[in-house]
Amino acid sequence: MAMPMQVSLDEILSMLLARVDSLAINDENSKSKFNIVARVLYKKGILTDADIVESIKEEHRMLKELGAIAEEPSDDIVETIADGILQWIKGDIDSLKKGMEEYERKVQEAMAKQQAQKPKIDVASPAVLQQLNRMGGKGQGGGKLII
């Protein structure tokens, strides 16, 4: 009878992290290849702005029919998506930087708003708790939870 192989948790985590790293590198490599091919097609006039917009609409129509999304995006949203894709294809560095800065600003605002909305918990000092206990008629041994 063969003995079961034992693998430590560290070994499992190392294998999983190596796999995640490999997938991340592969994803970046695929994105880079896509961007290069799309730029070549765009520069040669094979791929146009209208093709991008139409493909985005087609993608969302298919996703809706498959039940992956509830509704197709409006034309404004489609144009925004197309602009983002075309910025990469055209290599519009200034627009990309501006978009990244705006995105970072919106994230910071959202985080600040979320921090402001967090409920605060006030903790009474032991002296105040003792005073409340005396006012409630209980002796030194009892405590109260105040909400």
Residue 115 domain-assigned (yes or no): yes
- Tell me the H-state helices in 2-135: 9-43, 49-66, 75-90, 93-117, 126-135
- Let me know if residue 7 belongs to a domain: no
**100 inside domain:** yes
The DSSP 8-state label assigned to residue 74 in this structure reads: P
Q: Tell me the residue range of the domain where 123 lies.
A: 48-135
Domain count, the chain: 1
Structural domain includes residue 113: yes
**What does the pLDDT profile of the chain (147 residues) look like in tens digits?**
667 778 888 999 999 999 999 999 999 999 999 999 999 999 999 999 999 999 999 999 999 999 999 999 999 999 999 999 999 999 889 988 998 899 999 999 988 888 878 777 777 788 887 887 787 765 555 555 555
Burial class of residue 10, CB neighbours in 10 A (0-12, 13-18, 19+): exposed
Neighbours of 59 (CB within 10 A): 14
Could you tell me which of 115, 136, 133 has the C-alpha nearest to residue 125? 133
Interior angle at CA 89, CA 88 and CA 92, nearest 5 = 55
Q: What is the Cα–Cα distance from 134 to 147, expressed in whole angstroms?
A: 18
Asked if the structure places residue 83 within a domain, the reply is: yes
Q: How far is CA 61 from the centre of its chain?
A: 24
90 found inside a domain: yes
Q: CA dist 38 to 49, 62, 90, 144, Å?
A: 12, 22, 9, 68
The answer to the question of residue 120 being in a domain is yes
Please indicate, yes or no, if residue 57 is contained in any of the structural domains. yes
